[in-house]
Amino acid sequence: MAATHNFFDTLDQVISDGAERRLGQLHTSNERLDGRQIRVEGQDLIHFGSCSYLALERHPALTAGVVDAVQRYGTQFSSSRTFMSLGLYEELETLLGEMFNRPVIATATTTLGHQSSLPVIVGDDDAVILDQQVHASVQTAAQLLKARGVETHVVRHNRMDALERKLLQLKAKKRHIWYLADGVYSMYGDCAPMAKLLELLDRHEQFHCYIDDAHGVGWAGKFGRGYALSQMPLGPDGQPREQHERMVVAVSLNKSFAAAGGALVLPNEAMRQRIRNCGPTLIFSGPIQPPMLGAAVASAKLHLSEALPVMQAELADKVAYCQQTMDELGLPQIGVSGAPLFFVPAGLPRIVYNIVHRMKAEGFYCNTGVFPAVPMRNGGVRFTINRELSKADIRSMLERLRHHYPLALAEEGQTEERFKKDFRFCGLDRTLQAPIERVEEPTANALKIRSFDSIAELTPDQQGRWDQRFADRGPMSVATLLELEQAFANPDAPREHLDFRYVEIEDEQGALVLAAHYVVGLVKEDMFAKVEVSEKVEAIRAGGDPDFLVSKAVVLGSPLSVGEHLFLDREHPRWAEALSELTGLLQTVKEECGATQVFLRDFPRGADKALERRMLELGYFEFGLPDMMVIDDLRWADRQDYLSRLSSKYRYNVRKEAIAHEERFEVLVGDEDPAAPLDEAELRRCYELYCQVHAGGLQINVFRLPYAVFAAMARHADFDVLRFRLTDEPQRGTVAVMFSYVGPTRYSALIVGFDKAIVRSHKVYKQALFRTVERAHALGSASLNLAFTAELEKKKLGARPRPTCAYVMLDDTFSASVLEAV
């Protein structure tokens, strides 16, 4: 089966890269922890990565609660809560009920709380709208709803206008509309616009909110109820309103609470009991164990005591001091909110890694906030403030950050202009007060970069070199590209119009290091989505929104080409530099053309780890494509020799499904038969057969090729056209066609068309593939590229899968989030 993209492939790549750089998956080696300092790999670091904002983990009351509970109840109470709960649970939920003045269920983790509540409270006739940046644990729980058939949507982060538009669209057909968001967002530290959400709740009776306030509880609000509930407006009596009757709040009993587990704060007892009865993870998962239940009970009592406001004020003073110092030093920031979580924007992951490495060398541990937690170009340094840190710690860290920040950006080639463009949509509070002083590289031996808008702009010598470098890579010769430039040059049809561009990069001696052609045009963002997802997307497009998930992209190669589109001399010592220049050029083109992504396609997957690592440094993640199907060796003596090379199972299949039916077909090669010329009418018939296949071809969902492309292939000598007619039904005319490209030693099958009415009964597609193999052999080709999809049918003919990937740069992850929700 073809290898296709999996989010976990990307996650594995990014996390592995961070771990190799010693910035992730680390361990402390302290004998004891004091909440301020950690020891990592032999180095003492001031810890600016702790989410224990109130620093209660070493509070005597909590440690005493643990000791008492473990001495009285042991290390675990192993029972589903459906059957039995330890008495401490009842005490904890009673105390939490006092804290929040609402019914509460304690859960083993906040994540399990989401998975227990959302499937129960969201009905099949409801709809769900997720904020783009809602925590991953909420998104995972929402997938349970989607699997059940609940309609799900995504809106851009904190865009209340988009939320209300979607709400109005759904009101007429849905019982309830649930909005899933965070109180305090875990990366940027910005907050949900609670006042606007409460206004929407008051105006729309069908509207419900589910707020994950894991990062807001403890340090904010009366009794530490959290940021979301602290934003309730004042009522007629001058006191803050209680939790809205259509709002559910999920909180963490970790972080500020310093215990374990989570809790669901519910608007009424009926909902609490329904979740208690039906919540999947409350039935099938284990409970919070006695030692940490003891800590949670102690923490709840502490939150209800007079000690909490003192600790909240102490933390708030340090958070305000941190903000004041950042303002004074002029450090840029996203999401100024008053939360003890800060984010200093930087850009690509490599820039963030540079800064964090520098801070680590200075004795400070900060987090990396990088893709996929944030968009690829919107990474930054994430740090937190907790009560154990001193103001001297905070100032010292920020002063060193202010020192290293511009140096790291300059070292990595980040300019102020580039920085502002990268973060123009992120709520950037300020840019760096002092300009970034770029590190100037010596120019004497600079690489020479040449860009062209047409392949015709190359000199004859350059054209000859181009053809030599791209021989046997598919339809990428100078003559072919000239034809394709014209075929895609229809400005009146935006979906058929492509701008062809070319780049060559040479060293100081004129040796070619890199060359490529690429196009700029509209693409479907569900191009490689699952078929069932593309079916839903196409239904939305057909239903009145033709531009849904359609955007402009910069794509390596052209829609007709398959194969290695990038010539890169990997033996050249400056290949990585050349690659950097290419990506910089493509980023500029993307911005000038208003594109949202760069898609570098058709690389051998897993074959070049150095290239993979370099692409990640440049901001491109690996994206798995379907396998390329290739027959590497066509050098057989005759058909019997060919068949002998297949497995017995595949040999039987070819004989039964292809050879046994070959007499039913007449095969016409190009325009060789005067009785059946490849004239305008015949070419239109071939195009119509292609359109039939395209209409159902959602495995790779692309726009239909224009007719002009087929006209170009028909008249160009390097293309081979096979037409198939039925010998016993000549009146049907052509029932199948295969357009291929003939290189010096490689034959590339590109486009197939067939009459779908008879494709199964007459095994038309199998015949077209089999005859294509024989045609490639007859022309003396050494190998055959059968492109993507239909892997099993191609394997039967002797093709072998080649794992293939692309490297992708996205402006943001919104479209991916929308696809995930469709």
- Per residue in 30-84, pLDDT tens? 989 998 999 999 999 999 999 999 999 999 999 999 999 999 999 999 988 889 8
Which carries the bigger pLDDT value, residue 136 or residue 671? 136
pLDDT digit string (tens) for 513-522? 999 999 999 9
Determine if residue 338 is left, alpha or beta; phi over 0 gives left, psi from -120 to 50 gives alpha, anything else beta. left
Place of tokens 């860009």: 451
Residue 13: count of CB within 10 angstroms of its CB: 17
- Which pLDDT band, with edges at 50, 70 and 90, does 14 fall under? confident
Radius of gyration of the chain (CA): 31
Determine if residue 466 is left, alpha or beta; phi over 0 gives left, psi from -120 to 50 gives alpha, anything else beta. alpha
What's residue 446's pLDDT? Answer: 86
Q: Is residue 415 over pLDDT 90?
A: no
User: From CA 180, how far away is CA 123, in angstroms rounded?
Assistant: 15
- Which pLDDT band, with edges at 50, 70 and 90, does 5 fall under? low
Give the 3-state secondary structure percentages of the chain, helix then strand then coil, rounded to 5: 40, 20, 40
For residues 380 and 344, the answer to whether their CB atoms sit within 8 Å is yes
Q: Tell me the average pLDDT of the chain.
A: 93
Which carries the bigger pLDDT value, residue 437 or residue 765? 765
Single-letter amino acid code for the residue at 586 = L
User: From CA 272, how far away is CA 286, in angstroms rounded?
Assistant: 19
Task: Identify the sign of the CA torsion 729, 731, 734, 735.
Answer: negative
Q: Is residue 413 over pLDDT 50?
A: yes
Mean pLDDT of 85-114: 96
What's residue 418's pLDDT? Answer: 84
- Which pLDDT band, with edges at 50, 70 and 90, does 10 fall under? confident
User: From CA 369, how far away is CA 353, in angstroms rounded?
Assistant: 10
Determine if residue 392 is left, alpha or beta; phi over 0 gives left, psi from -120 to 50 gives alpha, anything else beta. alpha
Place of tokens 């989030």: 817
Copy the structure tokens of residue 754: 């067939």
Q: Could you tell me the CA-to-CA distances from 47 to 388, 396, 401, 771 in Å, in that order? A: 10, 13, 14, 67
Q: Nearest to residue 231, comparing CAs of 338, 376, 385, 355?
A: 338
Helix axes 460-469 and 478-487, enclosed angle (nearest 10) = 100
SS3 605: coil
Q: Is residue 491 over pLDDT 90?
A: no
What's residue 425's pLDDT? Answer: 66
Mean pLDDT of 491-507: 95
Residue 120: count of CB within 10 angstroms of its CB: 17
Q: Which of 84-88, 95-99, 488-492, 669-673 has the highest mean pLDDT?
A: 95-99
Residue 792: count of CB within 10 angstroms of its CB: 11
User: From CA 209, how far away is CA 200, in angstroms rounded?
Assistant: 10
Q: Nearest to residue 265, comparing CAs of 54, 53, 117?
A: 117
pLDDT digit string (tens) for 307-345? 999 999 999 999 999 999 999 999 999 878 999 999 999
Q: Which residues face 164 on adjacent strands?
A: none
pLDDT digit string (tens) for 15-24? 888 888 898 8
φ, ψ of residue 2 in degrees (nearest 5): -65, 140
DSSP secondary structure of 778-819: HTT-SEEE--SS-HHHHHHTT-EEEEEEEEEEES-SHHHHHH
What's residue 432's pLDDT? Answer: 58
Q: Which of 14-23, 417-426, 542-551 has the lowest mean pLDDT?
A: 417-426
Q: Is residue 192 over pLDDT 70?
A: yes
Segment (H or E) for 182: strand 177-182
Strands 177-182 and 127-131: parallel
Question: CB neighbours of 306 closer than 8 A, spacing ≥ 6?
Answer: none
Segment (H or E) for 296: helix 290-303
User: From CA 385, how far away is CA 399, in angstroms rounded?
Assistant: 15
pLDDT digit string (tens) for 198-242? 999 999 999 999 999 999 999 999 999 999 999 987 666 766 678
Mean pLDDT of 530-534: 91
* Strand spans (E) along 393-469: 428-430, 448-452
Q: Nearest to residue 91, comparing CAs of 65, 113, 67, 124?
A: 65
For residues 361 and 400, the answer to whether their CB atoms sit within 8 Å is no
Look up residue 572 and give its DSSP letter. Answer: S
- Which pLDDT band, with edges at 50, 70 and 90, does 2 fall under? very low
In the chain, what are the domains? 7-57+309-430 (3.90.1150.10), 60-305 (3.40.640.10), 448-622 (3.40.630.30), 630-806 (3.40.630.30)
Strands 597-604 and 566-568: unpaired
